[in-house]
Each structure stands twice: as structure tokens, then as C-alpha cells.
Amino acid sequence: MIESRQAYGIAQNANTKLLLGHTMSISKNYKARIQISFEAPAHKSTLIAKSIYSALNPEPKISFDSGAITRISVHIHSLSIEIETDDIPSLRAIVNSYLRLVNTSYKCIVS
């Protein structure tokens, strides 16, 4: 006597196993810390750092919905930017954007 069994579900063939392997994502955090110091007399470098901080401070609130976490802080003569994302291309794009913004702000203040 031969028994037969019926089962319901998804039959996993090579294609579905391959798709399952690719859809599993491993969450990684990539971080960058940028410390920018300004070469100027003490009182002037402090003013430059505070001015650039106030120019960039609204930016993290705008870019938060992209999945990136950005923190900007000002120290006595320097500016610190910390960026945390889930992928490297986003990290590179955000780092480049902040460096360009700092450079442009600095040129506007010094000129």
C-alpha cells in the first residue's frame, strides 16, 4: 500500500532560494567623523566655527528622513561633524555634501 501526502506552500527551487538569499539584508552602520579646525587668530577662528555651525545646523533636520543620522557640534576653534548611515554610497554622498557646504560657508565668511 502506497501512502500519498499532500502539502501546501511554496516549493523552493533554485530561483526562490536565490531570491531568499539576496533579500536577507545585514544591517551595518558606517560612520564618519570630520573635525575641521580653522587657522586664524583665536577670536576669529571661534567666530568662523560658530558661524559655519549656525549655517549648517538646520541641515541635519532636513536630511534625517534619508536614513542618515548627522550630528554637528562646535568646539572652541573647530567644527565636528558625525555621520552615520546604513550604506557606504550614502555616507560618501553626505560627507561630500557637508565638505562642500563648509567650504562654501568658509569662503563666504572670509571673502
Q: Read off the pLDDT band of 43 (50, 70, 90).
A: confident
The boundaries of the domain holding residue 98 are: 30-110
9 within a domain of the structure (yes/no): no
The pLDDT of residue 17 is above 60: no
Number of separate domains in the chain: 1
Whole-structure pTM value: 0.69
**H-type alpha helices, 1-111:** 14-23, 42-56, 59-63, 88-110
More confident residue, 50 or 21: 50
88-110 helix and 42-56 helix, angle to the nearest 10 degrees = 130
First to last CA, the chain: 94
47 within a domain of the structure (yes/no): yes
25 within a domain of the structure (yes/no): no
pLDDT of residue 71: 92
pLDDT tens track for 52-99: 999 998 877 655 556 788 999 999 889 999 999 988 998 999 999 999
CATH number at residue 94: 3.30.310.50
